[in-house]
Amino acid sequence: MSIVLRVSHARTLALTLAAAGLFVAGGQSSFASPPARLAAAIDSLRVLSVENCAGLWLTIQMWSGSPVHLRSVRLEDNVNAKITTIDPFPPSGATQVTVRVASINSQLDASASVVIKDEAGETTRVPFVFIASKLDAAPASLAFGPVGSDSRDTLEVTLTNPTSRAEVVRRIGLATPVFRIIDPPLLPLTIPAQGSMTLLVEASAPPSGPFSVDTMEVDFACSRRRVPLRVATGDPCVMIGDLSFSTMPQGTSRTMQLRISNEGGDTITFANPFGGSVIEWRSSAFSIASSYLEALAAARLGRGEYLDVVVRFNATEPGHYADTARLWASTRACRDTSIWAAFVAPISGAPNDLIATDALEAVHPNPTDGATTIRFTLDRPGRATIEIFDERGARVATLLDAERSEGAHTVVLDAADLAPGVYHIRLDAGDVRRSRSFVRR
């Protein structure tokens, strides 16, 4: 909606647009005619007002045969309000200015007075009032499961309108077919003031992995309510991590723990149907003691249980090493292969770019729900940054941003502070970038 206001200016003019009755609230604008007490017109101020979800737009014009220029535009008595656009900036000397006023936090009410002053000293005030659209969700998130491949689980979420005016729900969206709304309402749907609506949400078994996540988005007026959804699998779900032995000098050896866990339900057992080892790999540079393999073959892992196996790498010859180990378990869901990698640097006589490389080791254990150590190696001193990103690419934490010397280093990640889901660790060191993924269960 837009309105045009014309106000004549004289040196003794006392009229302001605030007194004229401009009001903006919840998507509506109105204007009451000003009292007829105008002095002889020397100049005129014209204000075009347009209000939408982006805020209040004001086009301010000084017009007449020889218009007085504007001096300033500012806010007074602002509560959760700010000027986001002034064009041109600064406005002093201009005869036409575009101003946008918006709430700082769209979830909260906002108010302010836009104060317009010209070079003749006349002041005009335009009030800005914004009443936020709100919907409360109870519960704030839905955690289903565990759900097996032949079952479903349903939970209720209630959306409540706590405001004194009706809210219109325009869209309810889900991204994955794992979740669905049973008997979805016809939209648009009006929720009256202090009223509520209840949705019944159904979850099926995750198609892969220990769990599936989604976000139910409820769009209304100029805002959106998000309700996180998560379902865990009730089927057996074997998980095995990766191993990165990083850069090692020739002639050395290193051991790392390989965690094998059941992130689902029921029980997982381990046996090779062809009579071989329960873990098979190709490169002789990697080895596992027979005692660990025998313990794994005898293991029965219930939900949440795990077993650690020690893998050794012997850096006998220079070069890059990579292998994929196969775990023989009673289920192939969710992950039964593990990638092992290492780089062996020659003792001497090789170019510098082969002796050392920047490396970021895999998170161990993976999945994790507590504190874990992240190991990384720098081939030269400099600034190193380690950041955590969620599966949508949003940064959720910075673990390190500092100068570090050449060599091996560690930082601590406390996964207990993160919501369940898939995350990515990124190491930036100069022009080198390395990344790893892990699961917060």
Same-domain pairing of 167 and 92: no
Same-domain pairing of 84 and 118: yes
CATH code for the domain of 156: 2.60.40.2310
Q: Is residue 52 part of a domain?
A: yes
Residue 21's pLDDT is: 36
CATH code for the domain of 433: 2.60.40.10
Q: Tokens at residue 275, please?
A: 């009579």
What is the domain range of residue 415? 358-441
Cα–Cα distance, 393 to 384 (Å, whole number): 20
Residue 95's pLDDT is: 87
Which residues sit opposite 259 in a β-bridge? Answer: 308
- pLDDT tier, 134 (very low <50, low <70, confident <90, very high otherwise): confident
Same-domain pairing of 42 and 72: yes
Q: Is residue 340 part of a domain?
A: yes
Q: Is residue 384 part of a domain?
A: yes
Cα–Cα distance, 124 to 144 (Å, whole number): 57
Q: Which of 349, 379, 399 is the last residue of a domain?
A: 349
Q: Is residue 239 part of a domain?
A: no
Highest-pLDDT range among 3-17, 118-132, 344-358:
118-132
Same-domain pairing of 268 and 384: no
Q: Is residue 11 part of a domain?
A: yes
Same-domain pairing of 105 and 6: yes
Same-domain pairing of 366 and 309: no
Residue 64's pLDDT is: 65
Cα–Cα distance, 55 to 358 (Å, whole number): 48
CATH code for the domain of 15: 2.60.40
Domain count, the chain: 4
Residue 147's pLDDT is: 94
Q: Which of 84, 114, 130 is the last residue of a domain?
A: 130
Same-domain pairing of 122 and 10: yes
- Is residue 163 predicted with pLDDT exceeding 60? yes
Q: Which of 349, 368, 386 is the last residue of a domain?
A: 349
Rounded average pLDDT over 88-100: 90
Q: Is residue 265 part of a domain?
A: yes
Same-domain pairing of 56 and 73: yes
- Is residue 22 predicted with pLDDT exceeding 60? no
Query: Among 307, 214, 206, 308, which Cα is nearest to 264's?
Result: 206
Same-domain pairing of 267 and 226: no
Same-domain pairing of 364 and 400: yes
Same-domain pairing of 194 and 180: yes
Residue 122's pLDDT is: 86
Q: Is residue 238 part of a domain?
A: no
**pLDDT tens track for 388-403:** 988 777 888 888 988 8
- pLDDT tier, 156 (very low <50, low <70, confident <90, very high otherwise): very high
Same-domain pairing of 185 and 298: no
Q: Is residue 145 part of a domain?
A: yes
Phi and psi of 74, rounded to 5°?
-150, 175
Q: Tokens at residue 345, please?
A: 């640097």
Phi and psi of 32, rounded to 5°?
-100, 140
Choice between 233 and 430, residue whose per-residue pLDDT is larger: 233
Query: Among 410, 361, 401, 356, which Cα is nearest to 379's?
Result: 356
For 212, the enclosing helix (H) or strand (E) is strand 211-220
Radius of gyration of the chain (CA): 32
Residue 67's pLDDT is: 66
> Contact 55/31 with Cβ under 8 angstroms?
no
